Chain A
């Protein structure tokens, strides 16, 4: 079950580097030594079952959770224990699309999109609104949507607005947390295409977590599988069907039989 040695795609230093990252909640060990490299401008999808620690992994990189052990570097700088203004500076380079978009209910759509520009970058509201309208157009939404409240949007529109907010500051790195969860297959496909388009347009590095395999295949250059708190396989998306890893094979085919056992509580 050990991770295969990762062949570097190029000589550039990794944009994100994780080594031996461990995270536990009380007695429950969620991450037990994650090693992962994400190179500039590549799109990596971390796959894994529910409860495998994918969201925790993402929150550790974002600084929303602090690992007990290990090191996380962004652009070669350690960010594991960075807080306050330094963390704000790191996060200024990052965009994030949350699972349920996490739009601010109290603000209109355009202000949600422009939030990072107004509050984080201290941009004038009028200038930020112009950018917000442009970003909404990039994700296929008209300027009239900007005046709506998030409560008036459908699930697909919320994801689009979340995506517009994630790319509003032209970030270096964009994280996607289950980008297609809760959407019908067609809308899921549309969101995937938008993600690929926007990531290329901005020229960003993308890290996504999902257990939706069709979506993962569409948006990734490379995949990594997380199982029991460790990355057990990484490789190019095109080669995942020939991974030779029983865990990966079971997961991508959604087979009930295999080395992965669902932990069910006994009745």
Chain B
């Protein structure tokens, strides 16, 4: 047997899967901007993604900020550069940690739930039932989740930014002995609008990716409970990997000299 054949087959399979995903995304996005829109469903998804994820994202970024301040201190103290801690914390949190950590947490919490819900609907013929009831499943199931993902993630990341900086402040002031006012002034003076904007752009992209992968894997799932389980795993893994890849690409776009 020709050894090139399996490689070629795998490559064609990859292209086919990519094409299917892109097509799914395009159809999903096109239904976001074409009526009818389902405000009730969008609102429900917004509450699920935005409101119920607040504790997870808030806690994650709070402790990330605290650890960051602590670790920075142990490093910077060697060079007597402790004064840089507020700037390191605020830059790391707004540009990277808040959007990436929030993205990964939402991938686990929301991406998995979307894949499981749509996967179960697929294998129990509920998606077929939607079509027979003259309701487009992309419009009814996919579009509200994409809209909610893109709109809610930036808000979550904004909260994450505040919580992360607050975590750094708490450790710096109450454990490392920083002056509270100086810490806040340094933070405020150092952060730029672009730092926050880049984080929010990342958040919107990550929100889209999480919702897309959750919907795609759920919608395409086959084969009963095992298929739904596989769809859930694939949704979380693929969303997490895509978040890390797109994080680099967006960072490159905003900050590469």
Q: Do A and B come from one complex?
A: yes
Q: Which of A14-22, A95-103, A129-137 contacts B (4 or more CB under 8 A)?
A: A95-103
Which chain A positions have C-beta within 8 A of B125?
Answer: 98-100, 102
Interface residues of B in 132-163 (CB under 8 A from A): 132-136, 140
Q: Is the CB of A91 within 8 A of B131?
A: yes
Q: Is the CB of B134 within 8 A of A64?
A: no
A120 contacts chain B at the CB level, 8 A cutoff = yes
Which chain A positions have C-beta within 8 A of B135?
Answer: 88, 115-116, 119-120
Q: Is the CB of B133 within 8 A of A102?
A: no
**A96 CA to B140 CA, complexed, in Å:** 19
Which chain A positions have C-beta within 8 A of B133?
Answer: 91, 115-116, 119-120, 165
Q: Is the CB of A62 within 8 A of B134?
A: no
Which chain B positions have C-beta within 8 A of A88?
Answer: 134-136
Inter-chain CB contacts under 8 Å: number: 56
**A86 CA to B136 CA, complexed, in Å:** 12
Q: Is the CB of B126 within 8 A of A102?
A: yes
Residues of B in contact with A, size category: 10 to 19
B211-230 CB mask vs A (1 if < 8 Å, else 0) is 00000000000000000000
**A94 CA to B129 CA, complexed, in Å:** 11
A92 contacts chain B at the CB level, 8 A cutoff = yes
Contact of B129 among A63, A84, A89, A104 (CB under 8 A): A104
Q: Is the CB of A62 within 8 A of B132?
A: yes
Closest-CB distance, B136 to chain A (whole angstroms): 7
Interface residues of A in 126-178 (CB under 8 A from B): 165
B128 contacts chain A at the CB level, 8 A cutoff = yes
**A103 CA to B125 CA, complexed, in Å:** 9
Closest-CB distance, B5 to chain A (whole angstroms): 18
Interface residues of A in 112-127 (CB under 8 A from B): 115-116, 119-122
**A102 CA to B130 CA, complexed, in Å:** 9
Closest-CB distance, A44 to chain B (whole angstroms): 18
Which chain B positions have C-beta within 8 A of A165?
Answer: 133
User: CB-nearest residue of chain B relative to A168?
Assistant: B133
B90-125 CB mask vs A (1 if < 8 Å, else 0) is 000000000000000000000000000000110011
**A181 CA to B128 CA, complexed, in Å:** 19
**A214 CA to B160 CA, complexed, in Å:** 63
* 7 pairs from A and B in contact (CB 8 Å cutoff): A88-B136, A99-B125, A100-B124, A102-B126, A115-B133, A119-B134, A120-B133
Binding site for B on A (CB under 8 A): 59, 62-64, 84, 87-89, 91-92, 94-96, 98-100, 102-105, 115-116, 119-122, 165
Other A-B pairs beyond A94-B132, A100-B125, A102-B125, 13, CB < 8 Å: A62-B131, A62-B132, A64-B128, A88-B134, A88-B135, A100-B124, A103-B126, A103-B129, A104-B126, A104-B129, A105-B126, A119-B134, A120-B135
